Amino acid sequence: MFSDLFRSICQVGVFMICAQAIVHFRPKGSYEKYLKVLVSVMILIQIFLPISRLFSKDIQTDVTAMVREFEQKLNQSMTGVEQSVASSEKYAGKIVERQLDEMQKEQPTEEQLQEDERKVEKIQIKVGQ
């Protein structure tokens, strides 16, 4: 699509150079205004043709196909992202479960708390004596 646009711009440029050469080397001065009008119309036609092709059905179907292809790629990448997020959530969940298990193992049991309270009472008794 862009190569067509570039080619059209090159064609218009070459045509303008040739047209200026023709206008410059005209046989009589009275034909100058007619040649300039003719050249201007021809340049406008050369500019209009690529633009009209841009809005033709062929280009629209190409653009539609490109958009569909982009949507498919986007959906595929989104599916991949969703899968990676799901796997990372599972992994994070396992890590959190492990940490909670470790924290529960580290928490003292009722027996350990009662034993610690007895030790504190003994220390208080010794300090009080």
Q: How far apart are CA 60 and CA 53, in angstroms?
A: 10
Q: Which residue has the higher pLDDT, 3 or 79?
A: 79
| CA gap 39, 24 in Å, rounded | 12
66-113 pLDDT, tens digit per residue, is 888 988 988 888 888 888 777 777 777 777 777 777 776 666 667 777
| Distance between CA atoms of residues 34 and 112, nearest Å | 110
pLDDT at position 106, please?
Answer: 67
Give the pLDDT band (50/70/90) at residue 128: low
The residues, any chain, with a CB within 8 Å of residue 19's CB and separated by 6 or more, are 39, 42, 43
What is the reported pLDDT for 25? 80
Residue 7 has pLDDT above 80, yes or no: yes
Taking only the tens place, the pLDDT of each residue in 53-63 is: 767 766 667 77
Q: What are the residue ranges spanned by the domains of the chain?
A: 2-128
3-state secondary structure of 7: helix
| Average pLDDT, rounded, for the chain | 78
User: Whole-prediction pTM value?
Assistant: 0.39
Using alpha carbons only, give the angle 14, 35, 7 rounded to the nearest 5 degrees: 20
